[in-house]
Amino acid sequence: MPSGGCIGESIEREPCRAALNKRVCGLFERSKRTYGSPRIHTYLHAEDWLVSVNIAADSMRRQELVGENPRGAKDWPSRTETPPKIPDLLRRDFNVATPNHKWCGGISEIPTDEGNLFSLCCWTCADAALWSRTFDCRP
């Protein structure tokens, strides 16, 4: 039903809706069940279907098609869980009498346009001298 899509007074709604549902389902299955309505709409538009993104979303909703994350859902962190309590091994006492006795470190995640950048720092508690700093694209 491309070349005009589902618009116009002369086209009956139910046959048009059935054709649209069939095409949306085909595109969804071709994507291995990963595409959402914006991407489905883009492909419909490329095939000359004249439908809005809301019509594509309604078609997916009627058919109970929900795009899934191709990399799999992350178990943690979720919005409802609280992070596990990390033990405070130094008990917030950073004072040391001898060097090389206590070391501290930290990691930071820096979002960029090309992906996340991770910064890892390590320093000695004796003189607070920065011992190491590493940047990488993976944690």
pLDDT tens per residue across span 84-94: 788 888 787 87
Contact 5, 51 (CB under 8 A): yes
pLDDT tens per residue across span 92-118: 787 888 888 888 888 888 888 888 888
**Low pLDDT (below 50) residues in the chain:** 1, 3-4, 9-10
**β-strands 103-112, 130-136 pairing:** unpaired
Q: Which two tokens stand for residue 133?
A: 């700093």
Burial group, residue 96, by CB count within 10 angstroms (0-12, 13-18, 19+): middle
**50-87 burial string, b = 16+ CB within 10 Å, else e?**
ebebebbbbbbeeeebebeeeeeeeeeeeeeeeeeeee
Residue 76: predicted pLDDT: 53
